Chains A and B, each alone.
Chain A
Amino acid sequence: ETGVTQTPRHLVMGMTNKKSLKCEQHLGHNAMYWYKQSAKKPLELMFVYSLEERVENNSVPSRFSPECPNSSHLFLHLHTLQPEDSALYLCASSQERRTGRESRNEQFFGPGTRLTVL
């Protein structure tokens, strides 16, 4: 148990479906992340919400839409996905400092959602 939970753990969806992945952290952190891990590929950062800013990887298609209503919850809304979007989607959180002294920046990861797009 890392203090980061993700639901659902497994999801199968068609290309015309709309679904959402949910992440919740119980660690009091102020930054949350979405990563994608495709088979045989390194983890790829998709989105970061940190200190009330959103940072995104410009290569992420618009069919992925993140939402961060508060510092404890993070969603990834999915619509009109493609089969190549099938992957493990991982959420993480960390405690970031705005300026000054270094922070450990240790990221705590959830167990992931295994997504299959048919």
Chain B
Amino acid sequence: DAKTTQPTSMDCAEGRAANLPCNHSTISGNEYVYWYRQIHSQGPQYIIHGLKNNETNEMASLIITEDRKSSTLILPHATLRDTAVYYCIVRVVSGSARQLTFGSGTQLTVLP
């Protein structure tokens, strides 16, 4: 699976949009971009994933650049409960590859 690069930490004001970047310049054509988050002392939680089109669900939006070398996770109205480590992961979804390879992620702190 392709390697990802994320900032170590970010702050965001409560109620504002949180934009979390991820670089994945070596992504291949059959790899998807996944985002998970881990709130302190809990297991990771799936947020969203995409291949090349932008995606939106009830939690977040995912913007993938046209060349697919980077993406941005957007939390439109961050709350204090969104404080967590956010992981960007790229992986294939078909075939025998089932592993999620977690990096160090971005520690997002939402400030009151």
- Pick from B44, B93, B95, B105: contact of A104, CB below 8 A: B93
Q: Are B43 and A109 in contact (CB under 8 A)?
A: yes
Contact bitstring B77-112, A, C-beta under 8 A = 1, else 0:
000000000000001011100111111110000000
Confirm or deny: A42 has a beta carbon within 8 angstroms of a beta carbon on chain B: yes
Interface size band for A? 20 to 34
Q: Are A2 and B43 in contact (CB under 8 A)?
A: yes
Q: Are B99 and A112 in contact (CB under 8 A)?
A: no
- Pick from B94, B99, B105: contact of A45, CB below 8 A: B99
21 contacts between A and B (CB under 8 A): A4-B43, A31-B98, A42-B105, A43-B44, A43-B100, A45-B101, A48-B99, A88-B41, A92-B44, A96-B98, A99-B95, A100-B94, A101-B94, A103-B93, A104-B93, A107-B100, A108-B46, A109-B45, A110-B43, A111-B42, A112-B41
Contact surface of B with A, Cβ cutoff 8 Å: 41-46, 49, 91, 93-95, 98-105
Q: Which B residues are in CB contact (< 8 Å) with A109?
A: 42-45
Q: Are A104 and B49 in contact (CB under 8 A)?
A: yes
Q: Which A residues are in CB contact (< 8 Å) with B45?
A: 2, 109
- What distance in Å separates the Cβ of B42 from its nearest Cβ neighbour in chain A? 6
- What distance in Å separates the Cβ of B87 from its nearest Cβ neighbour in chain A? 8
Confirm or deny: A50 has a beta carbon within 8 angstroms of a beta carbon on chain B: yes
Confirm or deny: A105 has a beta carbon within 8 angstroms of a beta carbon on chain B: yes
> Given A42-B102, A55-B98: A107 and B42 within 8 A (CB)?
no
Q: Which A residues are in CB contact (< 8 Å) with B99?
A: 45, 48
Cα A100 to Cα B94 in complex, Å, equals 7
- What distance in Å separates the Cβ of B9 from its nearest Cβ neighbour in chain A? 14
B30's nearest neighbour on chain A, judged by CB, is A102
**20 other A-B residue contacts (CB within 8 Å) besides A90-B44, A107-B46, A111-B43:** A2-B45, A42-B103, A42-B104, A43-B44, A43-B100, A45-B101, A48-B99, A90-B43, A92-B43, A92-B44, A96-B98, A99-B95, A102-B93, A104-B93, A110-B43, A111-B42, A112-B41, A112-B42, A112-B43, A114-B41
